[in-house]
Amino acid sequence: MNASNEAMHGWRLVLDYTPFPDIARGRWLSSARPGIYRLVPPWVYRHPRFFGVGHIAGGVVQAAAGLICLAYGVPGWAAFFLGIAALNLAGGFWYLSIDRSAPAPA
Protein backbone atom coordinates (compact mmCIF):
# COMPACT_ATOMS: atom_id res chain seq x y z
CA MET A 1 0.00 0.00 0.00
CA ASN A 2 1.54 3.32 -1.03
CA ALA A 3 1.30 6.66 0.77
CA SER A 4 -1.73 7.86 -1.20
CA ASN A 5 -3.69 4.75 -0.24
CA GLU A 6 -2.69 5.04 3.41
CA ALA A 7 -4.25 8.49 3.53
CA MET A 8 -7.58 7.01 2.46
CA HIS A 9 -8.49 5.52 5.82
CA GLY A 10 -11.48 6.87 7.66
CA TRP A 11 -14.25 9.08 6.35
CA ARG A 12 -12.60 9.85 3.00
CA LEU A 13 -12.99 6.22 2.01
CA VAL A 14 -16.76 6.57 2.34
CA LEU A 15 -16.82 9.59 0.02
CA ASP A 16 -14.76 7.87 -2.68
CA TYR A 17 -17.00 6.79 -5.54
CA THR A 18 -14.52 6.68 -8.40
CA PRO A 19 -13.92 3.34 -10.13
CA PHE A 20 -10.14 3.95 -10.24
CA PRO A 21 -9.43 6.06 -7.15
CA ASP A 22 -5.66 6.47 -7.52
CA ILE A 23 -5.83 7.66 -11.13
CA ALA A 24 -8.88 9.90 -10.81
CA ARG A 25 -7.91 11.37 -7.45
CA GLY A 26 -4.51 12.33 -8.75
CA ARG A 27 -6.02 14.29 -11.62
CA TRP A 28 -8.79 15.73 -9.48
CA LEU A 29 -6.56 17.12 -6.74
CA SER A 30 -3.31 17.87 -8.55
CA SER A 31 -4.32 19.78 -11.65
CA ALA A 32 -5.04 23.47 -11.40
CA ARG A 33 -8.32 23.84 -13.25
CA PRO A 34 -9.70 27.25 -14.16
CA GLY A 35 -13.04 28.67 -13.05
CA ILE A 36 -16.15 26.63 -13.66
CA TYR A 37 -14.20 23.42 -14.26
CA ARG A 38 -13.59 23.17 -10.50
CA LEU A 39 -17.30 22.39 -10.03
CA VAL A 40 -17.43 19.75 -12.75
CA PRO A 41 -15.88 16.28 -12.20
CA PRO A 42 -12.96 15.47 -14.56
CA TRP A 43 -14.74 12.67 -16.41
CA VAL A 44 -17.61 15.07 -17.16
CA TYR A 45 -15.62 18.04 -18.39
CA ARG A 46 -13.79 15.83 -20.86
CA HIS A 47 -17.14 15.00 -22.54
CA PRO A 48 -19.64 17.71 -21.52
CA ARG A 49 -21.89 17.26 -24.55
CA PHE A 50 -22.45 13.55 -23.79
CA PHE A 51 -23.32 14.21 -20.15
CA GLY A 52 -25.42 17.27 -21.03
CA VAL A 53 -27.55 15.31 -23.47
CA GLY A 54 -27.85 12.53 -20.88
CA HIS A 55 -29.07 14.97 -18.24
CA ILE A 56 -31.60 16.45 -20.66
CA ALA A 57 -32.88 13.00 -21.63
CA GLY A 58 -33.23 12.05 -17.98
CA GLY A 59 -35.00 15.34 -17.26
CA VAL A 60 -37.51 14.71 -20.04
CA VAL A 61 -38.27 11.23 -18.67
CA GLN A 62 -38.67 12.63 -15.15
CA ALA A 63 -40.91 15.44 -16.40
CA ALA A 64 -43.09 12.85 -18.15
CA ALA A 65 -43.32 10.87 -14.91
CA GLY A 66 -44.28 14.07 -13.08
CA LEU A 67 -47.00 14.86 -15.58
CA ILE A 68 -48.36 11.31 -15.33
CA CYS A 69 -48.43 11.59 -11.54
CA LEU A 70 -50.18 14.95 -11.87
CA ALA A 71 -52.78 13.43 -14.21
CA TYR A 72 -53.51 10.65 -11.71
CA GLY A 73 -53.90 13.12 -8.86
CA VAL A 74 -50.74 12.44 -6.87
CA PRO A 75 -49.41 15.97 -6.36
CA GLY A 76 -46.61 15.05 -3.94
CA TRP A 77 -44.91 12.65 -6.34
CA ALA A 78 -45.60 15.01 -9.23
CA ALA A 79 -43.81 17.83 -7.42
CA PHE A 80 -40.88 15.51 -6.64
CA PHE A 81 -40.46 14.34 -10.25
CA LEU A 82 -40.96 17.81 -11.71
CA GLY A 83 -38.43 19.31 -9.29
CA ILE A 84 -35.82 16.68 -10.12
CA ALA A 85 -36.59 17.14 -13.83
CA ALA A 86 -36.00 20.88 -13.54
CA LEU A 87 -32.63 20.30 -11.87
CA ASN A 88 -31.58 17.75 -14.49
CA LEU A 89 -32.65 19.98 -17.38
CA ALA A 90 -30.81 22.96 -15.87
CA GLY A 91 -27.67 20.85 -15.38
CA GLY A 92 -27.88 19.48 -18.90
CA PHE A 93 -28.20 22.89 -20.48
CA TRP A 94 -25.37 24.13 -18.27
CA TYR A 95 -23.09 21.33 -19.52
CA LEU A 96 -24.07 22.14 -23.11
CA SER A 97 -23.26 25.81 -22.55
CA ILE A 98 -19.85 24.79 -21.17
CA ASP A 99 -19.33 22.67 -24.28
CA ARG A 100 -20.26 25.56 -26.59
CA SER A 101 -17.94 27.98 -24.80
CA ALA A 102 -14.90 25.68 -24.95
CA PRO A 103 -12.25 26.55 -27.52
CA ALA A 104 -12.02 24.31 -30.56
CA PRO A 105 -9.35 21.59 -30.30
CA ALA A 106 -6.26 22.41 -32.34
Q: What is the pLDDT of residue 89?
A: 96
Residue 14 has a pLDDT of: 46
User: Which letter, b or e, does each residue of 22-42 get, where b requires 16 or more Cβ atoms within 10 Å of its Cβ?
Assistant: eebbeeeeeeeeeeebeebee
Question: Does residue 1 fall inside a structural domain?
Answer: no
Q: Which residue has the higher pLDDT, 47 or 105?
A: 47
Q: Are both 67 and 100 inside the same structural domain?
A: yes
The Cα-based distances of 3 to 6, 7, 11, 22, 44 in angstroms read 5, 6, 17, 11, 27
> Can you tell me the distance from the alpha carbon of 104 to that of 49, in angstroms, rounded to the nearest whole number?
14
Domain count for the chain: 2
Q: What is the mean pLDDT of the chain?
A: 77
Residues 54, 74 within the same domain: yes
Task: Record the pTM.
Answer: 0.63
> 94: domain range?
47-106
Let me know whether 73 and 94 are in one domain.
Answer: yes
**56, 85: one domain:** yes
> What is the rounded average pLDDT of the residues 35-63?
84
106 lies in a domain? yes
Judgement on whether residues 41 and 30 belong to the same structural domain of the protein: yes
Are residues 40 and 53 located together in one domain of the fold?
A: no
Residues 67 and 95 in one domain: yes
58, 33: one domain: no
**Tell me: the pLDDT tens digits for 9-34?**
544 444 545 555 555 555 555 556 66
